Structure formats: structure tokens, C-alpha cells
Structure 1
């Protein structure tokens, strides 16, 4: 029988090491943290992205997300624009500098993923892993399990 505690520990430890390894390269080569990269990527991929959208996608609180966006804005990578459909919120956009940084950092990030995620596995194993993780994540999201409070 599979030891579920060990599966959990392996999954968490692997995710932590992968996140840290990717973050170390991004910081060394682009002066960017993993969290900053993730936010720039999400903002770039969503038209009309709001702080709430970022928080939901990253599974962190709106307060923490807003503070992170403040730092991205102070760095000159993101700008807040008035939301024409809701004056209480703003829409986030990458600045030209933020777009250039994301474009430069993305190949570095993807190279790290190839090295630590794709190369150790066969193509079939990677496809199975991707499918399994997607199913597990969707199951928790559908149950609203593990969502941040606040």
C-alpha cells in the first residue's frame, strides 16, 4: 500500500526545491523573485486583470497580493489603470519595462523547468504527471479547499 504521508512529503519537498531553484536563477540572472515573475506572467496573460484575479490565481490573500502589486508598481513593472466598469477597482497592466523583463526572464524559467522537471522523466511520465496534478488541483479548487482566509 502506498504511504500517503510519504507521497505528500515528497510532493511538498520537490515543489519547494523546484520553486527555490527557479527563483535562484531568476534572481541571479534578472533580479526578479519567483513571486514577482509569477505575478508578471499572470498579469500579462489576463486582459483586465485585477488584484482579486491575481489573488485567486496565486491562492493568496487579497491584502498580500495588493502589497506585492504595490512593489511591482514601485519597481516600474506594473501600472494600475482605472477600471471603467467598476470605479472601486483598478486594472493591472505591464509597463514596457515589465514586459521586457518578463520576456527576458521567461526563457530562463522555462530552461530550469526543462532541466528539473522534463529531463528526468520520459515524455509519457511527464504527461501522466501533468494530468494527475491537474486532476488533484481541480479537485481541491472545486471543493474550495485550501483557499486563503481574508
Structure 2
């Protein structure tokens, strides 16, 4: 049986290495950091999206999220529009360039995730995915 400290260390180190490898592939192939892809996926996957929604989804501060969105806006991948229901916030929308960048990067992302996941037997990967999903749900409650 694995102790909690070993589990924590393995989980964090694995996440860091997975993130860095996928990030390197996206940067090399699309000049896009993985963090930008994640934000584009969130924005593009919602009918209405605010900075707060992204911050809540990835569990980072609104300030850090806003700065990251500013980088997407500067790249021409996203725009901020006035929120008609709340003048304190803005709505985020992908631009056509953002939609194209997202569509181009998603196959690279999927291939990298699939390739890195192939290091484990299918049954182990399925069990890991199920366990992490349950654990994440618990932590998000």
C-alpha cells in the first residue's frame, strides 16, 4: 500500500512532467503554451464565459486569470465585450483567429495525451482516470 506522501509526490511530479511535455509540443508546433490552450478550450466550450468562470474552473486567482486573458487578447485569439448583465465584468469570446488556433492545436494536444497515456496498460489508465475523477469531484465540493 502506498503512503500518502509517496502518492502526493508521484502525482505532482507526474503532472509536472506531463504538463511540460505537452506544453513543449504545443509551443513547437503552434507557438501556443498549454495554459493558453486550456483557456481557449474553456472560452470556446461555453456559451457565455467570464474571467471569473475560468478562474473558478482552473482554481487560480481572478487576477492571474485576467492577466492570462490579456495575453490571449494581445495575440488576437480572444476579445472582451461588455457584459450587459454586469458592468463590472466582461464577456470573453474567441476571435476567428482564436477559433483557428484552437482547432489547429487540439489534434496536437490529443496526440500528445494519447501518446503519453500509452505508457500505461489500458486497464491501469482507466482505473487511474476513474480514481482521479472521483478525487477531483470530492475536492471540488
For normalisation by structure 2, the TM-score amounts to 0.96
SS in 2 for 1:64: helix
Whether 1:124 aligns to 2:123 is yes
Kindly provide the CA deviation profile for residues 34-91 of structure 1, in whole angstroms up to 9, marking residues without a partner as x.
1111101110001110000010111110000011111110110000112122122111
Runs of 4+ in 1 over 3 A off after TM superposition: none
Aligned-residue Cα RMSD (Å) equals: 1.0
Unpaired stretches in structure 2, ≥5 consecutive residues:
none
| Cross-structure match for 2:23 | 23
**Distance of 1:92 and 1:67 partners within structure 2:** 13
| Cross-structure match for 1:146 | none
Kindly provide the CA deviation profile for residues 5-51 of structure 1, in whole angstroms up to 9, marking residues without a partner as x.
11111111110000000000000000001111110111000111000
For normalisation by structure 1, the TM-score amounts to 0.90
Unpaired stretches in structure 1, ≥5 consecutive residues:
143-150
